[in-house]
Amino acid sequence: MSGGDEMERTFAALPPARGRGFAQTWWGQAWLKALEDTALDGEQLKRGRRHAREGAVGAVSVRPGRITAVVRDRDGTAQRSDVLLQELTDAEWDRFLGMAVDRAGHIAALLDREMPPHLVEDAAAAGVELLPGIGDLEPECACEAWDHCPHTAALCYQVARLLDQDPFVLLLMRGRGERRLLDELQIRSVARATASAAPGNESEWPVGVRADEVFAARDILPPLPAPPPAPDEPGLPPALDTETAPAAGVDPAALEFLAADAAARAHRMLTEALSPGHGLQPPEPELNREQDAVRLASASPAPAIAGRLAAGTARQRAELELAVRAWQFGGAAALSALEEEWTPEPDALARASTALADAWEDADRPRLRAAGPARWTVVGAEAQLRLGRDGRWWPYRKEGGRWAPAGPADHDPAAALAGVLGEPG
């Protein structure tokens, strides 16, 4: 994954590439050919391939005209390595955008993270060279080599793997970020469509298909393909350890934590969407800011991040720790039982009283004293029952003078309280 602003993307260090080629796509292979045709010393390239295969290349930063990474030698020595690539001029970008708008397939291919040969050929015909050629990859390394050294070569081999995944990496090196590029393509597409729809251009309007004909053909269309399987685990979180200082008020560690959380949630949602019976369960309720902060804190973030979550929801650290414990027992419902006091309606209160009366045999019944509209404390024990809004009972234990969640909820008050009474208070 990548992080950073529109004009700088940083990719986490890739795992070792043993047993596979560095480039699977034709454009990734063209990138490596430019490297291999430029370097004068084949032995340096061989050592660079070995570095890349062994995972010696750190996080890769991509900016217009430059890629950067720290590469480690086998003795642990770290070298900052850069490779420069000439940016396209504004005139060249103008020609490229005009060419892409003329051919809708080019835009669709880029959105699919592909770079078909005819796109590059059409760009070249418009006077725009997207892929580098001989001498276009200019090395700069802290080891002070005058040609491509093992460090810059390793960086180039690693970038070939990134290009396989996303050709927008190359376009960023040439000077345009993905968002800006797509926005400019959209503006030009809308302008062209508006001009075509102007009065007097009716002959250029596309011919449609009658709605009744489309509806009639619904039973003869082939079925949709099966969805692809969900990945086994979420993707790697972004690495924001670039040499560019963050903007004032921006905490890179907190952003990395939030991105990792978003990836984990997206993976869970995708897995659930692809599972049998999806759609039969009611949707999860939307969390408010205080609830979501507790959910985030339950992932055991670094102390500084936990502190920010506590401060952002006006909780003390000890209060946040109790809230996290409640969340782990039962999510938002458990958190509500901890932090909210509510008054049941008379009929709900009557059902609760009946449940308490029927839960135990007379000889086993604990003495309960009302401690609030929906709370009952066990006399002579550091234990308490709380009634949730959904009719379930939550057990509590007094710890350090405060009531703390002691277990999951149960529809049976005796079962909910059993774990608390069975343990020392």
Q: Is the pLDDT of residue 277 over 80?
A: no
**DSSP per position, 226-261:** PPPPPPSSPPPPP----SSPPPTT--HHHHHHHHHH
Burial class (CB in 10 A: 0-12, 13-18, 19+), 90: exposed
As a whole number of angstroms, the distance between CA 392 and CA 378 comes to: 17
Q: Is the pLDDT of residue 1 over 50?
A: no
As a whole number of angstroms, the distance between CA 191 and CA 393 comes to: 62
As a whole number of angstroms, the distance between CA 208 and CA 114 comes to: 29
Q: Is the pLDDT of residue 179 over 90?
A: no
**DSSP per position, 292-316:** HHHHHHTT---HHHHHHHHHHTT--
β-bridge mates for residue 402, sequence order: 399
Question: Which range is least confidently modeled, 27-41, 43-57, 180-194, 199-213?
Answer: 199-213
Closest-CA residue to 258 (of 322, 301, 294): 301
**Could you give the count of Cα atoms lying within 13 Å of 236 in the half-sphere of its Cβ?**
13
State the SS3 of 61-118: EEECCEEEEEEECCCCCEEEEEEECCCCCHHHHHHHHHHHHHCHHHHHHHHCCCCCHH
For residue 70, the model assigns a pLDDT of 95
| Per-residue pLDDT reduced to its tens digit, 367-378 | 999 998 899 999
Dig out the tokens for 222 from the structure.
């082939």
**DSSP per position, 329-363:** HHHHHHHHHHH------HHHHHHHHHHHHHSS-GG
For residue 139, the model assigns a pLDDT of 93
Dig out the tokens for 40 from the structure.
């004068």
> What crossing angle do the helices spanning 252-274 and 289-297 adopt, rounded to 10°?
100
Question: Which range is least confidently modeled, 87-96, 149-158, 196-205?
Answer: 196-205
Q: Who has greater pLDDT, 123 or 110? A: 123
- Please give the mean pLDDT across all residues of the chain: 86
- DSSP code of residue 205: S
For residue 411, the model assigns a pLDDT of 93
Closest-CA residue to 393 (of 410, 378, 374): 410
**Could you give the count of Cα atoms lying within 13 Å of 383 in the half-sphere of its Cβ?**
25
Residue 425: band (very low, low, confident or very high) from pLDDT cuts 50, 70, 90: very low
Closest-CA residue to 96 (of 114, 64, 119, 65): 119
β-bridge mates for residue 2, sequence order: 11
For residue 99, the model assigns a pLDDT of 87
Residue 202: band (very low, low, confident or very high) from pLDDT cuts 50, 70, 90: low
| Per-residue pLDDT reduced to its tens digit, 339-387 | 999 999 999 999 999 999 999 988 888 999 999 889 999 999 999 999 9
Widest CA span of the chain, in angstroms?
Answer: 94
| Per-residue pLDDT reduced to its tens digit, 214-270 | 666 666 666 777 778 888 888 877 777 666 778 888 888 888 899 889 988 988 888
For residue 293, the model assigns a pLDDT of 94
Q: Supply the pTM of this predicted model.
A: 0.51
As a whole number of angstroms, the distance between CA 167 and CA 285 comes to: 38
Closest-CA residue to 155 (of 228, 50, 258, 48): 48
Contact 1, 237 (CB under 8 A): yes
Closest-CA residue to 292 (of 309, 275, 280, 308): 309
CA end-to-end distance (rounded Å), the chain: 48
From the CA atom positions of the chain, what is the Rg in Å? Answer: 31
Contacts 24+ apart (CB under 8 A), 156-159: 156/31, 156/32, 156/35, 156/48, 156/83, 157/22, 157/32, 157/35, 157/48, 157/49, 157/52, 157/57, 158/14, 158/22, 158/52, 158/57, 158/60, 158/69, 159/31, 159/60, 159/62, 159/67, 159/83
Q: Are β-strands 2-3 and 368-372 bridged in parallel, bridged antiparallel, or unpaired? A: unpaired
For residue 122, the model assigns a pLDDT of 87
